[in-house]
Amino acid sequence: MLICRSVSECRKAVADMRHQGKRVGMVPTMGFLHHGHMSLIALAQSHSDAVIVSIFVNPTQFGEAADLEAYPRDEDRDLAMLRAAGVSVVFIPDTDTMYPSGDETIVETTRLANMLHGQIRPGHFRGVSTVVARLFNIVQPDIAVFGEKDYQQLQVIKRMVADLHIPVHVIGAPTVREHDGLAMSSRNVRLSSDDRAAASILSRSLNIAEAAFPDVTVGEIHQIISKTIASEPRAALRGLDIVAAETLETLEGPVSGPTAIMISVAFGDILLIDQRVIAP
């Protein structure tokens, strides 16, 4: 497994793979890897001949410096996991590499970035699309895999790739969960044991909402989720959006087409997200 830290090293590694006629798959991550990331890598491997994983804790997608600083990191452990998974190349740029001095170019999906979770975390999706556009320009993969857990992020990336004619096929991957249903996340380690136990409320509320389909209105789903989250005193509902699965447009009245339920729930200062797409 090749470890690249500069753009030129990374470009050379990808050029060598292409020389061998390989189809290149990419999985961008912020590290502190878990089974969710590894399932994306397995999916990327099934769609390509060689996979490159990037590890970069992207400062521009964090709102508060404290959150960025508290983001967990363990490069040695990540590298061991990637080696064991048969990853070909790891790209670990530093901030100066991704954001060269004097840089001023941003990429923003103007509608998708500023709705829903983008309203709770202003600038977050602009940071994501900017860094992913830069990563795609450096690596130029044939395919790239992103998790459906970050559902709005997946839609932002798909929109950006279509709009900028970036020649990469973006694939969404299902959410990998802990035994109690909590979506795996690098942030979960920051939860106290009481909050960790309470955090299964996110997926449980989505299960209850899903069970009410198909004879349900958007207003009733709202009530079901709000009531379920409110039943857990440690949890505070921060965002609840019931939207058309592809456009993320807000829905009203009886549920008809494919519907995405997106929730964000705070435990103290830790914000967890989950989502469910239901085709009635």
Question: Which residues would be at the binding site for ligand AMP (CB under 6 A)?
Answer: 29-30, 36-37, 39-40, 146-147, 149-150, 173, 175-176, 183-186
CB of 32 to ligand AMP, least distance (A): 7
Instruction: Label the pairing between strands 89-91 and 2-4.
Output: parallel
Report the length, in residues, of the chain. 280
Of the two residues 52 and 255, which places its CB atom closer to ligand AMP in the complex?
52
Shortest Cβ distance from residue 95 to ligand AMP (Å)?
16
Q: Which is nearer to ligand AMP, 148 or 210 (CB)?
A: 148
- The DSSP bridge partners found for residue 266 are 236, 271
Q: Whose Cβ is closer to ligand AMP: residue 150's or residue 195's?
A: 150
Instruction: Let me know if 165 is a catalytic residue.
Output: no
Per annotation, catalytic residue among 35, 37, 47, 169: 37
Decide: 28 and 54 in contact? Cβ < 8 Å.
yes
Q: Which residue type, as a one-letter code, is found at position 206?
A: L
Minimum CB–partner distance for residue 272 and ligand AMP (Å): 11
By the 10 Å C-beta count (0-12 exposed, 13-18 middle, 19+ buried), 137 is classed as exposed
Phi, psi (degrees; rounded to nearest 5) at 25: -110, 150
Burial label for 155, CB within 10 Å (0-12, 13-18, 19+), is buried
Minimum distance from CB of 102 to ligand AMP (Å)? Answer: 26
Nearest CA to 128 among 116, 113, 140?
Answer: 113
The number of beta carbons lying within 10 Å of the beta carbon of residue 242 is 21
Provide, rounded to whole angstroms, the least separation between the CB of residue 244 and ligand AMP: 20
Identity of the residue, 36 or 118, whose beta carbon is nearer to ligand AMP in the bound complex: 36
Q: How far is the CB of 214 from ligand AMP (least distance, A)?
A: 26
Angle between helices 124-139 and 7-19 (to 10 degrees): 50
Are 91 and 139 in contact, with CB atoms under 8 Å apart? yes
Torsion-angle region of 140 (φ positive above 0: left; ψ -120 to 50: alpha; else: beta): left
Please say which residue, 55 or 225, places its beta carbon nearer to ligand AMP.
Answer: 55
Per DSSP, 31 falls in state S
Cis bond leading into 214, ω under 30°?
Answer: yes
Among all residues, which ones are annotated catalytic? Answer: 37
